[in-house]
A = this chain, B = another copy of it.
Amino acid sequence: MTEPADPLVVFTPSGKRGRVAAGTPVLEAARQLGVDLDSVCGGRGICARCQVTPVFGHFAKHGITCDETTLSDRNATEARYTEKRGLAPGRRLGCQARILGNVVIDVPAESQLHRQVIRKAADARPATMDPALRLCLLEVAPPDMHAPSGDLERLMEALRAQWGIADASVDPGVFAQLQKTLRAGDWTVTAALHRASAEAPPLLTALWPGLLEGDLYGLAIDLGSTTIAAHLVSLRGGEVVASSGVMNPQIRFGEDLMSRISYAMMTPGGAAEMTGAVRAALNGLVAELAASADVCTDRILDMTIVGNPVMHHLLLGLDPVELGQAPFALATASARDLPARDLGLGALPSGAQVYLLPLIAGHVGADAAAVALAEAPELSDDLVLIVDVGTNAELLLGNRGRVLACSSPTGPAFEGAQISSGQRAAPGAIEAIRIDPATKEPRFRVIGCPLWSDEPGFAAATARTGVTGLCGSGIIEAVAEMRLAGLLDAGGLIGSAQQTGTARMRAEGRTHAYLIHDGSASGGPIVSVTQADIRAIQLAKAALYAGARLLMDEMGVDAVDRVVLAGAFGAHVSPQHALVLGMIPDVPVIRVSSAGNAAGTGARIALCSLAARRRIEREVRRITKVETALEPRFQEHFVAASAIPHATAAFARLRRNLPLPEPSFNTEGSRRRRR
């Protein structure tokens, strides 16, 4: 009252500033000025989430001079915390240190609830932590016989009085543990509150006695037809603390989506069987990730899941049969919040919640939505084609003006399935190959060994794994290299030993196969590329290209500015070889980039941010869906795209940089036609 004016406080890095009454704790000042300063204990000086660094000196820009007297000395609470738990030099507890004069206060990143996290080095866009969960310490009144009320009611009253939250509800599992937890914590407990949206009433999803130290965690799941990838993520800092991937156990019911739909249609209880299988796999992943990160599962309280519509429906226990036929009616397309227990995820605590990203259309799922969330085509200045290659390919084409999406049934050939020497990416699999255009001799690299096969020491280095087959990127490169070396014509026919001049060509009936590696002398397999393999790759890549071409038709363009290859496959395929094969439209090689597992990244972004969930829900409504199965031009595009690289598109840029030989091995065909 005797001071001329209330002290001025400036928070960095936000730059927020204002005057507060002398004696106001820093935490309270932050709240008054809208500065993001974390606190779990609500100002009791025990959680230390509100640590700040007062900055002393003269700040011309703020017009402030501050010294050590502008904050109160350490009080008993702060001294006790410092002694017991330690506080870094210069740091103060925001809830205990009181503002006595003008001061500049820095809020370090780890004290911000909504801190910005850089997702990865290659990606400049920062993401802001805005998770669905927060922790609150509560001091609950003990029971009083003369004013009888329930434990739950007194807990709710504490939440209202201490945190201003009056509309919370309680998960039934938490409710059952309430009495025990309150007494174990001597009426002090830490509550985890989950909000499905900023406006939604919070749900109390977990309760611990006393103050909970450490972080909460969430799981981001990319539920693919073939692989289920999972990341365990800290909901405080957003960092991945463990990752894992397992085969989707539904594979035993059918390799691709259509065969799983058929299984559901033909087998009574088949859909339920597949639902049970995938849920069991998710429970296994929870346990595995928790163990590998040494995180107690009771802290894993949120989960986001992306997947194509069939995976999405089977996970939810919905019959996928409608997705097998026009009009490809989804049971639901919206984003969905639900308790993990409604998905049979018993490995998670009772209160754990799940967010399913929205679907785009009957064939374009939440995986594509997640790719859109990660890659944000709607923010791109140039026209970008994003291709997420899996058993199904999801394609997005767009820029700031408009975004289109479709799905194309490439089948599992790109993952090494349906290929005679194909195999999953594992040590021993050929992942890269080059064929000398002169000698037609191959050299290759296998997963697990950095050496090329013609380098010294390769045999020794691969003795343990052997050379076992071709993984997805290996088969792509093999086919492209065969085309570049003149072993394969534009129509996809493999030439004979005579036509190609190499003894590596072996006749198989009326067709030929190119021998890459003969391990039979040491009991290993023969790795070769057969005519049937070429046909499988042609079908897959033609489907992919035709989908992209349909989107280009809809957009009214004949070229795109850049291509992003997403998916685990996209991370390993060589852009050059993808272009030679004609998988993607003709763009400069340097404008083809890999986004890694963009669907998984999208799931992770949604896990860390409610704002991101709202953003993708908004975006999917704006995306124009193109239904490949019904577009009459799809068939035409597909046939033209079967040629390598293409029957009608020029691929002029590619050919300028990399002249393609143009043999024709179709002697039998021409002979036949002559009859």
Contacts and interface: CB of A to CB of B under 8 A. Distances in A.
A329 interface: yes
Contact of A151 (B143, B316, B332): B332
Interface string A287-328: 000000000000000000000000000001111001000111
A324 to B, nearest CB: 12
A322 B150 CA distance: 11
A334 interface: yes
A175 B361 contact: no
A179 B331 contact: yes
A151 B362 contact: no
A142 B330 CA distance: 11
A299 to B, nearest CB: 24
Contacts of A317: 176
A332 B176 contact: no
A328 B630 contact: no
Interface string A130-157: 0000000000001111101111110000
A568 to B, nearest CB: 27
A668 B319 CA distance: 83
A52 interface: no
A172 B318 contact: no
A382 interface: no
A326 B361 CA distance: 60
Given A179-B322, A329-B143, A148 B338 contact: no
Contacts of A180: 319
A150 to B, nearest CB: 4
Contacts of A151: 329-332
A145 B361 CA distance: 8
A328 B150 contact: no
A572 B23 CA distance: 71
Given A176-B317, A176-B318, A319-B179, A333 B150 contact: yes
A332 B175 contact: yes
**Interface SS of A by simple majority:** loop
Interface string A83-99: 00000000000000000
Interface in A329-387: 329-334, 338, 342, 359-362
A330 B152 CA distance: 8
A31 B178 CA distance: 46
Contacts of A316: 175-176
Contacts of A329: 143, 150-151, 179
Contacts of A327: 142-145
A630 B146 CA distance: 10
A319 B333 CA distance: 41
A602 to B, nearest CB: 20
B333 A145 contact: no
B332 A152 contact: yes
A553 to B, nearest CB: 16
B361 A148 contact: yes
A388 interface: no
A506 to B, nearest CB: 47
B331 A152 contact: yes
A504 B23 CA distance: 88
A260 interface: no
A148 B332 contact: no
Contacts of A78: none
A189 to B, nearest CB: 14
A415 interface: no
Contacts of A179: 318-319, 322, 329, 331
A627 interface: yes
Contacts of A143: 322, 327-330
A330 B145 contact: no
Contacts of A361: 148
Best-surrounded residue of A142, A151, A317, A359 (most CB of chain B within 10 A): A151
A445 interface: no
A328 B362 contact: no
Interface in A167-187: 172, 175-176, 178-180
Contact of A334 (B146, B152, B332, B360): B152
B333 A148 contact: yes
A180 B331 CA distance: 10
A331 B183 CA distance: 11
Contact of A331 (B144, B150, B328): B150
A146 to B, nearest CB: 8
A494 B151 CA distance: 48
Contacts of A359: 150
Contacts of A326: 145
A440 interface: no
A334 B150 contact: yes
B172 A332 contact: no
A275 to B, nearest CB: 10
Contacts of A148: 328, 330, 333, 360-362, 625, 627
A342 B176 CA distance: 11
Contact of A627 (B142, B145, B338): B145
B328 A145 contact: yes
A148 B624 CA distance: 10
A342 B359 CA distance: 29
Interface of A: 142-146, 148-153, 172, 175-176, 178-180, 316-319, 322, 326-334, 338, 342, 359-362, 625, 627, 630
19 contacts: A143-B322, A143-B327, A143-B329, A143-B330, A145-B327, A145-B328, A145-B362, A145-B627, A148-B360, A148-B625, A149-B330, A149-B333, A150-B333, A153-B332, A153-B334, A175-B331, A176-B318, A178-B332, A179-B329
List 5 A-B pairs, minimum CB-CB distance, nearest first.
Answer: A143-B329, A148-B361, A150-B332, A150-B333, A152-B332
